[in-house]
Chains A and B, each alone.
Chain A
């Protein structure tokens, strides 16, 4: 079929692993439908970023030759992905990080042979240093964080795999993925289009304290409830019109979520546009950090895997039946729904983190009340337990 030809050509030299798609007995039982997990945790750099970044680096090698030096600014997973990719392809790599990034993440990058430069107190400062380094060396190339079609093309490969891995002729009733700047979502949207799944609903997940995509959707005509002109812009957010993509994006002045791997102050305008235009639409969800923490704890007990918050936020929707049923309504007469959760992975979680999450969630529950979940402009309460 045309789809697989494209996949064969485009991904012929792929470095990434075709990861398992496993049916979760635990979550399927909880939700009474078939819930599949795409385990990007198993990539060589332990997150989905490996797909897009190796694809980009290979492209760089073809265009610029083996002398090219790859530069990236990252707070973790992208840097690890870049280090792994360049190690395999025997290219020089420098990762610019702000101070405060976990020692083990830095060790990982160094084990892969990357040069690591810790400068500045926040990601934008590290990015500035990276850009300065770029200017200083003719053979240097900056690896983009998320806003690049080559990255999306790499990420799209996972949808081709999912199509082959699901039982024959099964089309997902929804695909769930986390969203920082929108690179992963961009790849999922493009991958869906390529395999004839443009009408498959996409559920994107952010946290309340890091929700630039959700806010951007709100600034445009689209799936959000109510009239565009009556929607308010939160304090600290600036609306910016991007003429090239004919879309408005939100620029957030600060991010407060502990799910730091989501940390983008603005999303890719192109991906916002794609989300607004696709047939299957987008259900943009925001959850509280505590709900993502609870999900990380549940997933660890069920699947014996540690997920960082940016990843467990996707899973959190599957651990709350009331939310899930709103996002994936049951059809009468049809069999159980088939849902795919992209387990995007990430290195930024430790046993100590999970221990802290347990205390935080317990205290939060003891305080009573419910958690607020936002979806396409509506807000509703979810029981904490």
Chain B
């Protein structure tokens, strides 16, 4: 097992990131909470693992003339640009209008060519696909639905196994889900190290929850009968024969956690989640809860986490929610939160989140959390 890790990751470009025990969150939840700090990757998010792995694969397969092309709203593009720079490959990133100037600057600092195309991600993707068609040496870097990308992401589990105190197996691993690439890597990594039975808690936001909705469309961990579950307005259910699973296609995404923004998840990943021994606990939270977590995390750990990343941390800042999702956790439980990182956060954003959360708390009421088909309320101030 160790041998295959050595072979597959021998030429890795990513950083073996620290796994730190959070005193603050451990104290709050009265158990051991570890943070895997993917913020420290060269492109400042976990995407660097899977995408640099893919880039190296492309170099080996197509040679140094290969032209890496990617359509991205930010973090994937940064990862591709960073990897391409190290490997001395050409890289072009297609972005829709409206992407932050600092992200564009970062892409250019890494030597990537930036093409701003279209008003929406899908339009940028279309232009990217056309560019790949037009050039023989061009290769499309996938956003999340590719086994090579998952293989790169899986490396973090191998690291976590070595970094936890000896013999310790996590009682749960938490991660954010956009299209499912990270979750896919985690599930494969768990399988590889003998952790297939470790519970996986996936976190999305209500306004960007294609994975949660997909699980709902299949027999699995969701409560009740799959035939009686309703498909929300704006969602189309699609049967994927290749993976024998149904996935949800969302017609619109309304969350501010735009890095989660996938209208449909990887069908293969949905299938993996349904089949794994440790199961999947699929959670959806409000944007405001993610904002509150980002604020708390900034004060506790002096690290700015974008909303897609803070979403994972949010359940850990809500003891009532945490106890619902990991009821078996006791004082000696060991929980791992994948702090996936991301460049799309600024001091102005956090300032705005503060105002939004304060207004929302003043308005009263509770926040809704969805968990494997059930909805319950969580106090806004806890």
A111-B24 contact given A20-B17, A26-B106, A305-B303, CB 8 Å threshold? yes
Known: A19-B18, A304-B303, A304-B343. A42 touches B351 (CB 8 A): no
Contacts of A46 in B (CB 8 A): 301-302
Within the complex, which residue of B42, B109, B298 is in contact with A351, where a contact is CB–CB below 8 Å?
B298
Q: Report chain B residues within 8 Å CB of A347.
A: 302
The residues of A that contact B18 with a CB separation of less than 8 Å are 17, 19-20, 42
B334 to chain A, nearest CB (A): 16
Partner of B109, one of A26, A104, A108, A297: A26
A25 and B304 in contact (CB under 8 A), knowing A351-B350, A354-B347?
Answer: no
- Mask: chain A, 93-106; 1 = CB below 8 Å from B; 0 = not: 00000000000100
Within 8 A of A (CB), among B317-371: 341, 343, 345-347, 350-351, 354
Q: Taking the nearest CB of chain B, how far is it from the CB of A44, in angstroms?
A: 7
Contact between B351 and A25 (Cβ–Cβ < 8 Å)?
A: no
Q: How far is the CA of A300 from the CA of B298 in the complex (A)?
A: 11
In the complex, A307 Cα to B18 Cα: how many Å?
19
B180 at the A/B interface (Cβ < 8 Å)? no
Asked whether A111 lies within 8 Å of B295 as measured between CB atoms, the reply is no
Q: Is A230 an interface residue (CB 8 A)?
A: no
Q: How far is the CB of A359 from chain B (nearest CB, A)?
A: 12
Contacts of B109 in A (CB 8 A): 25-26, 29
Q: Confirm or deny: A349 has a beta carbon within 8 angstroms of a beta carbon on chain B.
A: yes
Residues of B within 8 A of A22 (CB): 15, 40, 42
Selected contact of B24 from candidates A42, A108, A303, A355, CB within 8 Å: A108
Bound: A347/B300 CA distance, A: 8
Q: Which residues of B contact A300 (CB under 8 A)?
A: 304, 347
Chain B residues numbered 236-287 whose CB sits less than 8 Å from any CB in chain A = none
Asked if B39 lies at the interface with its beta carbon under 8 angstroms from chain A, I say: yes
Residue of A nearest to B82 (CB): A25
CB-contact partner of A301 in B298, B302, B341, B347, under 8 A: B347
A351 touches B303 (CB 8 A): no
Contacting residue for B20 out of A25, A44, A111, CB 8 A: A44
B299 pairs with A304, CB closer than 8 A: no
Chain A residues with Cβ below 8 Å from B17 are 20
A79 to chain B, nearest CB (A): 14
With a CB–CB cut-off of 8 A, which chain A residues contact B346?
A: 301
Interface members, chain A 19-69 (any B CB < 8 Å)? 19-20, 22-23, 25-26, 29, 39, 41-42, 44, 46
Please tell me if B90 contacts chain A, counting CB pairs below 8 Å: no
Contacts of B302 in A (CB 8 A): 41, 46, 305-307, 345, 347, 349
B-side contacts of A153, CB under 8 Å = none
> Interface residues of B, CB < 8 Å — how many?
34
- Are A25 and B27 interface neighbours, CB within 8 A? no
Q: Which residues of B contact A111 (CB under 8 A)?
A: 23-24, 27
Most B C-beta atoms less than 10 A away, residue of A84, A301, A354: A301
Kindly state whether residue A112 has any CB partner on chain B within 8 Å. yes
Q: Determine whether the beta carbon of B347 is less than 8 Å from that of A297.
A: yes
Q: Find residues 338-365 in chain A having any chain B CB closer than 8 Å to their own CB.
A: 345, 347, 349-351, 354-355, 358
Taken together as a complex, chains A and B put the C-alpha atoms of A347 and B18 apart, in Å, by 19
Q: Are A355 and B20 in contact (CB under 8 A)?
A: no
Most chain B beta-carbon neighbours within 10 Å: one of A42, A46, A84, A358: A42
Contact A304 B44 (CB under 8 A): yes
- Nearest-CB residue, chain B, relative to A354: B347
Q: Tell me the bound Cα distance from A44 to B302 in angstroms.
A: 13
Does chain A have a CB within 8 A of B110?
yes
- Bound state CA distance, A19 and B303, in angstroms? 16
**B51 vs chain A, min Cβ distance (A):** 16
Q: Residue B37 at the A interface, CB < 8 A?
A: yes
Q: A17: nearest residue on chain B (CB-CB)?
A: B18
Known: A25-B82, A42-B37. A84 touches B347 (CB 8 A): no
Establish whether residues A25 and B347, one from each chain, have CB atoms under 8 Å apart when the complex forms.
Answer: no
- A39, B302: Cα distance in complex, Å: 12
**Complex: A231 Cα to B159 Cα, angstroms:** 56
Contact of A25 with B106 in the complex, beta carbons under 8 Å: yes
CB within 8 A of B351: which of A17, A29, A84, A355?
Answer: A355
Residues on A with beta carbons closer than 8 Å to the beta carbon of B301: 46
CB neighbours of B106 from chain A (8 A): 25-26
Asked whether B21 is an interface residue with its Cβ less than 8 Å from the other chain, the reply is yes
CB-CB nearest in chain A for B19: A17
B126 at interface, CB cutoff 8 A: no
CB neighbours (8 Å) of B303 from chain A are 304-306
Q: Which of B15-40 contact A (CB under 8 A)?
A: 15, 17-18, 20-21, 23-24, 27, 37, 39-40
Identify the interface centre among B23, B106, B301: most chain A CB within 10 Å of its CB.
Answer: B23
Q: Does B133 contact A (CB under 8 A)?
A: no
Residue B102 is within 8 A (CB to CB) of chain A in the complex = yes
CA distance A17 to B37 in the complex (A): 14
A351, B299: Cα distance in complex, Å: 7
Residues of A with C-beta under 8 A to B37:
42
Please measure, in the bound complex, the distance between the C-alpha atom of A39 and the C-alpha atom of B41, giving whole angstroms.
Answer: 13
Q: How far is the CA of A41 from the CA of B40 in the complex (A)?
A: 12
A61 → B minimal CB distance (Å):
21
Is there contact, CB below 8 Å, between B354 and A351?
yes
Q: Are A351 and B351 in contact (CB under 8 A)?
A: yes
Q: Please, which residues of chain A bring their CB within 8 A of the CB of B20?
A: 17, 42, 44
Top 7 closest A-B pairs, CB basis? A306-B302, A304-B304, A29-B109, A111-B27, A25-B109, A111-B23, A42-B18
28 A-B contact pairs sorted by A residue (CB < 8 Å): A22-B15, A22-B42, A25-B109, A39-B40, A41-B302, A42-B20, A44-B21, A44-B23, A108-B23, A108-B24, A111-B23, A111-B24, A300-B347, A301-B102, A301-B346, A304-B39, A304-B304, A304-B341, A304-B343, A304-B345, A305-B303, A305-B304, A306-B298, A307-B302, A347-B302, A349-B302, A351-B298, A355-B351
Report which B residues bind A (CB closer than 8 A): 15, 17-18, 20-21, 23-24, 27, 37, 39-40, 42, 44, 82, 102, 106, 109-110, 295, 298-299, 301-305, 341, 343, 345-347, 350-351, 354
- 17 further interface pairs, Cβ-Cβ under 8 Å (given A29-B109, A304-B341, A355-B347): A20-B15, A25-B42, A25-B106, A26-B109, A104-B299, A108-B23, A111-B24, A304-B39, A304-B304, A304-B305, A304-B343, A306-B298, A306-B304, A345-B302, A351-B298, A351-B354, A355-B351
